[in-house]
Amino acid sequence: MAAPDVFSRRRLLYGAALVAGGVALSACTSTEDQGTRPKANSSTKKGPAKKGSATKPLAPPAEFKEAPALAALVKEGKLPPVGERLPANPYVVPHNWLSTGKYGGSFRLVASGTDDGAIKEYMYGHSVLRWLNDGLTLGPGLAESWESNSDASEWTFHFRKGLKWSDGEPWTTQDVMFWWEDMVLNEEFSEGIPDEARSGTGTIAEFSAPDDTTLVMTFDAPAPMVPEMIANWVNRGIAATWMEPKHYLRKFHPKYNKSVPKDWTATFDQKRNAILNPDSPTMAGWRLTTYKEGSSSTFERNPYYWVVDPKGNQLPYVDSLTFRAVDNIETRKLQIQNGQFDFVHGAFAGLNLGDVSGIKSTESKHRMQVILWDSGSGTGSIFFFNQDYDEPKLRRLIRMPKFRQALSLAYNRADVRKSIYFDSGELTTGAYGPKTREFHRGDGPQTYKRWRDSWVAYDPEKAKSMLDEIDVSDKNGDGWRELPDGSPLVIRLDYPADVNPSGEHMQKNNLLKKNWDAIGIKTELNPVAPTSSSAQWAQGRLMSNTAWECSTLTFGADMLWLMPMEPSRWAPLQGQYYSLRGTPEEKKQKDVDPYKRTPPRMEPEPDGPIDRLWKLADRARVETDALARDRMYWDMVKIHVEEGPFFMGAVANFPRIELVKDGLRNVPTRDETALGGLVNDWHHPMPAAYDPEAWYWNDPESHSS
């Protein structure tokens, strides 16, 4: 069930005018001459495409077909027949909007660098399970089925028989065990234990592989959210990698090759990275063939890709992908407008709604359509204090709910929506986004609205009154409010110095400064060296973060914004403490100043908001009943409503620009997706969740590399 006013907000996104230099939003999906220039996504089928994707796996086709280039290699004896390259039961892409494609051609794509992790977000091939229907549905991936015991303390995954790496070598569960035993549990390598490999009490799971296609995860307590956690990301390189080609990488690991050097880990990391090393086998639809550091990367079709279309055509349709590295955002925009790319995901390219006018005015050059998908964002450009700031007096103030609530009421979010998001999206205090799974069932819609609207009203007079109540007032008559003891109060809006000076974050920062200056809170913009900002934040040396956003697919599989769990969000030292719970490090350095511990970390205040959030999360993680678990999440949201905001948003679910070259098919329109799209959250990988391997050219010969 969707919150009625969440999705009726489409009138704000698509009915209201998004005016950028005279270009109305309603014109963004039009073409100049539909008779001679077919829409990029027009289907060969009659009638409109159905929305969303099938919720049950499609049956495998009776026969399989392949790209002509691969058929030629089969004929020459250089490649096995397609039926021998595919698993016994291949994955069939289930999207209702698909039409049968044509083989051939290439895609020209843009990246910020050849080592940009966003490149991996185009390929879902390493994922054990997959998100469908904008995250509402959990579907199979490499594993075709899975189940748990009655209390969800043991999970069994059944992988497809006959899977093969891109070099033709068999994929087996030993590739998962290699990652787990020789990387994750190897203290020398320090891969890190993913959240899905911990029980609800935080202890580490036991992995076992009874045979080549079966994997068992055994926990000491219920772990009901394991499948949702596994579906997140694209795996193998963004977060947990979940598998590595043991047959290739064992030669670079000291357990299997005694001659590797003592400093083997750096070499091993380079060898395993399938977007940097052409020799690294992959399970994705395309494999790296040419890598020019800092310049470009070319990927060609993986002949062993384990996915087909409903007619049995092995994917991908397109022969190759070329990513061009363009690190300067203005150069990137110029190249986009000159038609040098075939598909552009606006979030990766740094495009915002203010770029629509320039893109539309150069349409005759780039011949791309502007389509707008829902971002799913919970905040837009965000602001949050460091709850563990290392200056005691300011830390006490930052931790006072009334102080943060007053600042939220002094924030004119309507100005942000108008000037940055062109009156699109919905004003928000700062919450998880409206596409979050749990908000679509039970009391979820109402809970979302309460959180979204909790401190969103623009009321500077009330804000001033609340500040007076906590004695944050102008004590010396200079026009600026001081701390209760009379010492100066300055809010620093910290941001990485390389952030786009004309982008949404800096525009929002300037508006925040204007709003908070207006109520007597002296506010300063503070650029921070990008190379040191993460370390300074984790040490409590920065006051605020102003250049992120919150976008979350599911509570259970991602509580990172809901409570401190690691050192990058709103309470970094407490987050670091949480990440070490259950380990020997938790009990060490108890008599050392929290800021001088290695790493810096501190316990939450007993029965304070973070302590209560952790305790609720501990209960939720072992609760196998979904409705009972949701009630615990709503109790956590209540803490955010009453004692937050712990992070401040401005606009939720604003649209994101996607650019699609004329003649490129099977890229879904917004209306063909289940919920209007979900493109900002990396847990729901974009564009991987929409299977670019199934995109094709209407005229492939015109798009050869």
The rounded distance, in Å, linking the Cα atoms of 40 and 28 is 13
Question: 239, 267, 240, 242: which is closest to 253 by C-alpha?
Answer: 267
Q: How many domains does the chain have?
A: 3
Residues 283-321 pLDDT 10s? 999 999 999 999 999 999 999 999 999 999 999 999 999
Kindly report whether the peptide bond that precedes residue 222 is cis, defined as omega within 30 degrees of 0. no
In a domain, 248, yes or no: yes
What is the predicted pLDDT for the residue at 253? 97
Buried b (16+ CB within 10 A) or exposed e, 662-687: bbbbbbbbbebbbbbbbbbbbbbbbb
**Which among 208, 243, 274 is the end of a domain?**
274
CATH code of the domain containing 221: 3.90.76.10
Residues 558-590 pLDDT 10s? 899 999 999 999 999 999 999 988 788 889 999
CATH code of the domain containing 684: 3.40.190.10
Are the CB atoms for 366 and 391 separated by under 8 Å? no
In a domain, 223, yes or no: yes
Are the CB atoms for 246 and 183 separated by under 8 Å? no
- pLDDT < 70 stretches in the chain: 1-49, 705
The rounded distance, in Å, linking the Cα atoms of 140 and 533 is 39
- 78 and 179: one domain? no
Tokens of residue 192, six digits: 């890190």
In a domain, 495, yes or no: no
| Sign, Cα dihedral of 305, 307, 310, 316 | negative
CATH code of the domain containing 422: 3.10.105
- 439 and 567: one domain? yes
Tokens of residue 442, six digits: 């039970």
In a domain, 480, yes or no: no
Strand partners, 314: 308
Work out the percent of the chain whose per-residue pLDDT is above 90.
87
Tokens of residue 172, six digits: 């087996």
The rounded distance, in Å, linking the Cα atoms of 184 and 306 is 26
- 697 and 602: one domain? no
Tokens of residue 458, six digits: 């623009």
Tokens of residue 261, six digits: 């050097």
- 337 and 393: one domain? no
What is the predicted pLDDT for the residue at 11? 29
Q: Where are the beta strands (DSSP E) in 411-458?
A: 426-427
- 696 and 647: one domain? no
What is the predicted pLDDT for the residue at 49? 56
Are the CB atoms for 629 and 222 separated by under 8 Å? no
Q: In what order do the strands lie in the sheet with 286-292?
A: 106-111, 320-325, 296-301, 286-292
In a domain, 67, yes or no: yes
Q: In what order do the strands lie in the sheet with 154-159?
A: 143-148, 154-159, 214-218, 206-211
- 700 and 621: one domain? no
- 159 and 253: one domain? yes
Could you give the 3-state DSSP secondary structure of residue 447? helix
* pTM for the full predicted model: 0.90
- 390 and 308: one domain? no
In a domain, 149, yes or no: yes
Are the CB atoms for 179 and 243 separated by under 8 Å? yes
In a domain, 163, yes or no: yes
- Domain of residue 445: give its range: 384-467+546-652
Question: 520, 569, 212, 523: which is closest to 385 by C-alpha?
Answer: 569
Question: 562, 514, 519, 567: which is closest to 540 by C-alpha?
Answer: 567
- 452 and 578: one domain? yes
What is the predicted pLDDT for the residue at 48? 54
**Which among 219, 244, 274 is the end of a domain?**
274
Which distant-in-sequence residues (6+ apart) come within 8 Å of 63 by Cβ?
Answer: 312
Q: Where are the alpha helices (DSSP H) in 255-400?
A: 264-272, 329-337, 346-349, 356-361, 363-366, 392-398
Measured CA angle at 573 (ends 569, 578), to 5 deg: 85
In a domain, 608, yes or no: yes
Are the CB atoms for 315 and 309 separated by under 8 Å? yes
Are the CB atoms for 416 and 458 separated by under 8 Å? no
Side chain identity, residue 558: D
Are the CB atoms for 421 and 427 separated by under 8 Å? no
Strand partners, 325: 111
Are the CB atoms for 51 and 673 separated by under 8 Å? yes
- 646 and 668: one domain? no
Report residue 78 CA to chain centroid gap.
Answer: 39
Strand partners, 299: 288, 321
Place of tokens 């205090």: 429
Question: 512, 539, 541: which is closest to 524 by C-alpha?
Answer: 512
**Which among 252, 274, 296 is the end of a domain?**
274
The rounded distance, in Å, linking the Cα atoms of 552 and 432 is 6
- 443 and 581: one domain? yes
The rounded distance, in Å, linking the Cα atoms of 325 and 636 is 42
Are the CB atoms for 697 and 44 separated by under 8 Å? no
| 649 Ramachandran zone, left/alpha/beta (phi>0; psi -120 to 50) | beta
- 452 and 335: one domain? no
Is residue 580 packed enough to be buried (19+ CB in 10 Å), middle (13-18) or exposed (0-12)? middle
